[in-house]
Amino acid sequence: MITEANQATREITVTVNGQEHSLEVEPRLLLAHFLREKLGLTGTHVGCDTTSCGACTVLVDGVPIKSCTHFAVQVDGREVKTVEGLAQGGELHPIQRGFHEEHGLQCGFCTPGMMLVSAALLEENPDPSEEEIRWALSGNICRCTGYQNIVKAVQWAANETKEQA
Amino acid sequence: MTAAETEQKGWLGRSVKRKEDSRFIVGRGNYIEDITLPGMLYMSILRSPFAHATINSIDTSRAAELPGVVAVVTGELLAEHNLAWMPTLSGDTQAVLATDKVRMQGQEVACVIAEDPYVAHDALELIDVDYDPLPVVTTPQAALEDDAPLIRDDKEEQADNRVYHWEAGDAEATDQAFAEADRVVELVTHYPRCHPAPLECCGCVADVNPATGKATIYMTSQAPHAHRTVFALVAGLPEQNIQIISPDIGGGFGNKVPVYPGYVVATAASLLLGRPVKWIEDRTGNLISTGFARDFYMDGKLALSEDGTMMGLRVNMLSDQGYAFADAQPSKFKAGLFHIVTGSYAIPAAHVVTEGAYTNKAPGGVAYRCSFRVTEASYFIERLVQTAAYELGIDPAELRRKNFIPPEDFPYTSATGFEYDSGNYEAALDQALERVGYRELREEQKLARAEGRLLGIGLASFTEVVGAGPSRQYDILGIKMFDSAELRVHPTGKAILKLGVKSQGQGHETTFAQIVAHELGIPPEDVTVQEGDTDNTPYGLGTYASRSTPTAGAATSVAARKVRDKARKLAAHLLEAAEDDLEWSEGKFSVKGAPDRAKTIQEIAFAAYTDHPEGMEAGLEAVNYYDPPNMTYPFGTYAVVVEVDRGTGRWDVKKVVAVDDCGTRINPMIVEGQIMGGLTEGFGTAAMELITFDESGNCIGSNFTDYLLPTSWETPSFELGETVTPSPHHPIGAKGVGESATVGSPAAFVNAVIDALAHAGIRNVDMPLTPDKVWGALNEAGLAE
């Protein structure tokens, strides 16, 4: 029974998509729920509850983590990026455009997690091979689209970034 | 209307980028969990740990006392309102919350409604249920034994665990064919239980307004209109006071066709409490309690002449239905659509016996990106044909070719009574063989075998039956399976199209706008497609069974043509010409011989509200309820190449070629996306997906660490091809395509693995072909290393 913990909230300060938030939270509050319920950032989806599907993936200090099994208190003092923070200054991130151009999404439920993992990959490796892309995405499940067009979307974004550079 | 007028070129066959993407790529989709209403409460479900047990008592007092808990709902409370049981899609009954017994693990026993979702979950642990476990039935074979425990003892007329026994085809003619045959080939196989597992689980927000009595229910529904009718019938609420809103849906694949207990309890709780109640299923709840797929044991024989001509087919099928019969069940096709088991072949005689049994498992069998039992039937015939090829020593491609229904025989009436609309099976086969390099591969296979390597080439030349349906034959709970479109063109020439179907990712907002563009010349970006709100769209049966394009797509065409007919009258008025003197092309009517005297559809639309002739109604809109004259029969040939590792039983996919024919392709990009998604799920089914149970009825496969789904790492790449054989009865010649690849590909993958082992006499390994099972077969045949 965990209800006694209700009283024992903790204050955390976290920067989400560039904006700092200080909030009182229960220690057991999951990061996914913190983002969705406390900050209203509903682009982060929960698909499996067991760190398997990756729909809830967000970036913590630039590293993809699955927010359905991460506590909000674990991101105290850190920087979180969600799908809502991908576009900058009204400009879509190349990975967002890549998913649109290459039909990398159907129902859209896995898309935020897929895009964040891809964005982190491209940050680290701007010119990944197909194998490297497939490995990077292998913690994220898509049911509608399959993976071929998602791989192409990442390649599209890589090419676009190269051309801009 | 002339043929030239129906050919508004330019928008059909164009890969228009999807309109719906813009919200999803920025995280602004609106899924069920994203909906929050003022004063909303949260519901959690307590599920049974036992597969079969008597409930002696349920004590909710400790849970009710937990701060933040507003109510605890049990079956006893629901029974007072006659809501403890509800009908399934096939007219059986299913418990909303258990009263007498639990009949499957994960069955809904009680619900907690609380101010906070975490508190609702905490309170589940404070509910004390006293169970007496009962003997458990986990297979349909055991269920039909004489001394099997009776699972549905709540049903007075039910004396055993048999759900149905239905037959189709002609038993006598089939017996005759077998008596005359030179060869009889048999296949016994199990299509295992798997789960559609859309990435978004099910859920709802039920909001019953205590002042007006209006129930607004946001829910993950593939069929909102049908669900409204079911709610009206089950709960006795006036139908006009129920509004079902299906927001963005995170994948369906048939999982969101049934009505689940969670929806019903949340609605009852909102009615009781006068506040909105949200229920979001967790993944375990989704996998163990909602509509599973397949679980068919099939045993069939093919009678052939020595030269490989197919003469007769006999199939016995036994399905594991779980504790309630919940298939979507067209009442006039008792064997479901299992009749399609004759596949792409001109088999003159066939007889099918289907039986179903109750077991202590979740009900379902609705679908997984196709069913009505088409998937299982198609898998079976494609596996059986491959088996026959080995037994007769005929190349599997040639045995298929020899027996295909020839193109000139369409429309073709099958031995089990379907009228196939159109097909050209050999063209699809030839293209697949060419693309995969079939002849070279057969040579390579011989060389590989000589080196001790196991190379396999698998084919499947499937035919599907989709797009229910002609309403004289197809219904769900008596509601006929038409669909609808309502098109309104506004004064500035922009249009709103409202449909009775509901996308779960299929891209309707783009595809259906293209149909309007094709018919009227209004560009897709000027056409908004609305779906999923019962108060704001015409009645329809929803999206599943690849039916949206065959039904609502046709309705869209017909509605747009009605609009065009009125536009012609308006143009005649504006141009001061006779209607017969006008011709239609590229979005405008012009006077024959004077192309400069023309009015665009946008100018005509403006006139419909500002300058319509006397005696004509203002406005420019039309509605169509489309009742298709027949189903559509998409088909194709898939070819898969694998190499099997003799040391581990692992099989690596070297190549996949998928040639599909779905008639006219409206948006090729979206069609190919559907096919690749289906191939991925078909690969998963063949390779890894399995919901199974231990002897106590515990579900093995209750989360994504046990129920394996393919990821980007295992999933092979696909090469796609197409042939185009339009449906003769669809207004734009389109057939359904959403499920073709899930139907066709599992057999191709399995046939490829079996083909690698066939020379050692191996004919079958049941799916999923996990390495341990394949290694077992290798070992038995002396091929293992």
Question: Residue A165: its pLDDT value, please?
Answer: 75
B234 occurs within a structural domain: yes
Query: Could you say which of A33, A101, A145 has the minimum Cβ distance to residue B673?
Result: A145
> What average pLDDT does this structure show over B271-285?
97
Q: Which of B194, B201, B370, B699 is catalytic?
A: B370
Residue of A nearest to B248 (CA): A107
Instruction: Judge whether residue B161 has pLDDT over 60.
Output: yes
Residues in B touching A142 (Cβ below 8 Å): 199, 680, 712
Q: Compute the nearest-CA separation of A165 from chain B (Å).
A: 23
B120 and B39, same structural domain? Answer: yes
- Give the position of tokens 């693995």: B753
Per residue in B387-399, pLDDT tens? 999 999 999 999 9
Mean pLDDT value across chain B: 95
Interface test with B, best of A34, A71, A109 (most B CBs within 10 A): A109
| Boundaries of domain holding B228 | 34-134+201-249+256-289
B249 → closest Cβ in A107, A139, A150: A107
B635 with B566, same domain: the answer is no
B440 and B519 part of one domain: no
CATH for A3-85 is: 3.10.20.30
Of A28, A86, A101, the CB nearest to B17: A101
Residue in B closest to A82 by C-alpha? B27
Q: What is the pLDDT of residue A6?
A: 54
What are the tens digits of pLDDT across the range B424-463?
A: 999 999 999 999 999 999 999 999 999 999 999 999 999 9
Q: What is the pLDDT of residue B325?
A: 94
Domain A94-164: give its CATH code: 1.10.150.120
pLDDT for position B335 = 66
B636 and B607 in one domain?
A: no
- Whether residues A106 and B677 touch (CB distance < 8 A) is answered with yes
pLDDT digits 0-9 by tens, B9-68: 589 999 999 999 999 999 999 999 999 999 999 999 999 999 999 999 999 999 999 999
Task: Compute CA distances B458 → B686, B745, B764, whole Å.
Answer: 12, 10, 13
- Closest alpha carbon within chain B to A146: B677
For residue B69, what is the domain's CATH number? 3.90.1170.50
Q: Do B705 and B751 lie in a common domain?
A: yes
Residue from the list A42, A53, A87 with its beta carbon closest to the beta carbon of B34: A42
B448 and B554 share a domain? no
Please, what sign has the CA dihedral across residues B45, B48, B52, B54?
A: negative
Task: State whether residue B17 sits within 8 Å of chain A by CB.
Answer: yes
Dihedrals φ, ψ of B230, to 5°? -60, -45
Is B444 part of a structural domain of the chain?
yes
Nearest residue in chain A measured CA to CA from B509: A106
Touching A: B residues 652-691, CB under 8 Å? 669-670, 672-673, 676-677, 679-681
What is the CATH classification number for the domain harbouring B9? 3.30.365.10
Residue B320 pLDDT > 60, yes or no? yes
Of B216 and B89, the structure prediction assigns the larger pLDDT to B216
- Residues in A closer than 8 angstroms to B22, CB to CB, are 100
Task: Kindly state the helix (H) or strand (E) to which residue B398 belongs, with its residue range.
Answer: helix B396-403
CA nearest A28 in B: which residue?
Answer: B118
Q: Do A111 and B25 touch (CB under 8 A)?
A: yes
Contact B680 A146 (CB under 8 A): yes
Q: Which long-range contacts (CB under 8 A, 24 or more apart) does B234-237 make?
A: B234/B83, B234/B86, B234/B87, B234/B259, B234/B264, B235/B83, B235/B264, B235/B267, B235/B268, B237/B213
Q: Name the residue among B600, B636, B613 with its Cα closest to residue B744.
A: B636
Per-residue confidence (pLDDT) for residue B774, from 0 to 100: 98
Respond yes or no: is residue B400 known to be catalytic. no
The domain limits of chain A are 3-85, 94-164
Give me the pLDDT at residue B622, please.
98
Distance between CA atoms of B140 and B156, rounded to whole angstroms? 21
- Choice among B8, B94, B105, B222 that is catalytic: B222
CA dihedral A63, A64, A66, A72 (to 10 degrees): 40
Q: How confident is the model at residue B8 (pLDDT cuts 50, 70, 90)?
A: very low
Q: Is B369 a catalytic residue?
A: yes
- Please check whether residue B539 is in contact with residue B28, taking contact to mean a CB–CB distance below 8 angstroms: no
B554 shares its domain with B579: yes
B222 as an active site residue: the answer is yes
Q: Using CB atoms within 10 A of its CB, is residue B239 exposed (0-12), middle (13-18) or buried (19+)?
A: exposed
In a domain, B310, yes or no: no
The answer to whether position B533 is within a domain reads yes
Q: Which of A107, A109, A133 to mutate to test the interface with B (most CBs of B within 10 A)?
A: A107
Rounded Cα gap, residues B300 and B308, in angstroms = 17
pLDDT-based confidence at B234, cuts 50/70/90? confident
Angle between helices A111-124 and A148-164 in degrees, nearest 10: 40
Spatial distance between the Cα atoms of B262 and B60, rounded to a whole number of angstroms: 18
Contact of B121 with B113, CB cutoff 8 Å: no
Q: Which residue of B has its CA nearest to A149?
A: B673
Q: What is the pLDDT of residue B468?
A: 87
Q: Say which residues have a Cβ less than 8 Å from residue B179's Cβ, sequence separation at least 6.
A: none
Closest by CA position to A95, among listed A71, A113, A70, A115: A115
Q: What is the pLDDT of residue B3?
A: 43
Tell me: do B641 and B751 sit in the same domain: yes
Asked if A45 lies within 8 A of B250 by C-beta distance, the reply is yes
Burial of B176 (0-12, 13-18, 19+ CB in 10 A): middle
Q: CB within 8 A of A83, min separation 6: which ones?
A: A43, A44, A111, A112, A115, A116, B25, B26, B27
User: How many CB atoms sit inside 10 A of residue B773's CB?
Assistant: 15
Asked if the Cβ–Cβ distance from B33 to A84 is below 8 Å, we say no
Token couple for A55: 């729909």
Please give the tally of structural domains in chain B: 3
**Would the pLDDT of B217 be above 80?**
yes
Q: Which of B684, B537, B555 is nearest to B627 (CA)?
A: B555
Q: Spot the catalytic one: B369, B383, B547, B763.
A: B369
Q: What is the pLDDT of residue B47?
A: 98
Kindly state whether B704 is in contact with chain A, defined as any CB-CB distance less than 8 angstroms. Answer: yes
pLDDT of residue B7: 45
Q: Find how far residue B310's CA is from the centre of its chain.
A: 30
Task: Report the pLDDT value the prediction gives residue B4, as an integer from 0 to 100.
Answer: 43
Q: Which residue of B has its CA nearest to A86?
A: B26
Residue B619 pLDDT > 80: yes
Q: Is B37 on the interface with A (CB under 8 A)?
A: no
Q: Give the distance from residue A69's alpha carbon to the nearest chain B alpha carbon, in angstroms.
A: 14
**B62 burial level (CB within 10 Å; 0-12, 13-18, 19+):** middle
B582-585 sheet: strands from edge to edge: B582-585, B588-591, B594-600
- pLDDT value of residue B506: 97
pLDDT in tens, B327-383: 876 666 666 678 899 999 999 999 999 999 999 999 987 788 877 889 999 999 999
Amino acid at site A133: I
- Pairing assessment for the beta strands B215-219 and B203-208 based on DSSP bridges: antiparallel
* Partner-chain residue, chosen from A28, A82, A109, that has the shortest CB–CB distance to B31: A109
C-alpha B745/C-alpha B749 separation (Å) is 6
Examine the domain organization and report whether B107 and B245 are in the same domain: yes
Hunting for tokens 């092309």 — which residue is that? B585
What average pLDDT does range B690-714 have in this prediction?
Answer: 97
B165 in a domain, yes or no? no
Residues near B446 by beta carbon (within 8 Å), at least 6 away in sequence: none
* Domain end marker among B593, B626, B659: B626
The shortest C-alpha distance from B122 to chain A (Å) reads 7
Q: Which residues of chain B lie closer than 8 angstroms to A139, CB-CB?
A: 711
Q: Test A43 with B27 for CB contact under 8 angstroms.
A: yes
* pLDDT recorded at residue A150: 98
Q: Do B703 and A36 touch (CB under 8 A)?
A: no
Tell me which chain A residues have a C-beta less than 8 angstroms from the C-beta of B284.
Answer: 49
Interface mutation vs chain A, best among B15, B665, B711, most A CBs within 10 Å: B711
What is residue B385's DSSP assignment?
H
Last residue of a domain, one of B565, B599, B626: B626
Structure tokens at B357: 């049994």
- Asked whether residue B647 falls in the same domain as residue B773, the answer is yes
Q: How far apart are CA B607 and CA B604, in angstroms?
A: 5
Alpha helices by DSSP H, listed for B529-667, are 554-575, 601-610
Query: What pLDDT shows up at residue B586?
Result: 87
Scanning chain A, the segments in alpha helix (DSSP H) are: 31-33, 94-101, 111-124, 130-136, 148-164
Q: Is residue B229 part of a domain?
A: yes
Q: Which residues of B touch A134 (CB under 8 A)?
A: 712-713
Same domain, B384 and B454: yes
* Residue B323 falls inside a structural domain: no
| Domain-ending residue, one of B626, B659, B690 | B626
Q: Do A47 and B283 touch (CB under 8 A)?
A: yes
Q: Does the CB of B479 have a partner CB in chain A at under 8 Å?
A: no
| Average pLDDT value over all residues in chain A | 95
Q: Find residues 225-244 of chain B whose CB sits inside 8 Å of chain A.
A: none
- Using an 8 Å CB-CB cutoff, list chain B residues near A110: 199
3-state helix, strand, coil in chain B (%, to 5): 30, 25, 40
Check if the beta carbon of residue B612 is closer than 8 Å to that of residue B750: no
In a domain, B230, yes or no: yes
Looking at the partner chain, which of A84, A137, A141 has a beta carbon nearest the beta carbon of B199?
A141
Whether B583 is catalytic: no
pLDDT of residue B338: 86
Mean pLDDT of successive 10-residue stretches along chain A, which has 165 residues = 62 98 97 98 97 98 98 98 96 98 98 98 98 98 98 98 86
Do residue A108 and residue B679 have CB atoms under 8 angstroms apart?
no
pLDDT at residue B6, as a whole number:
43
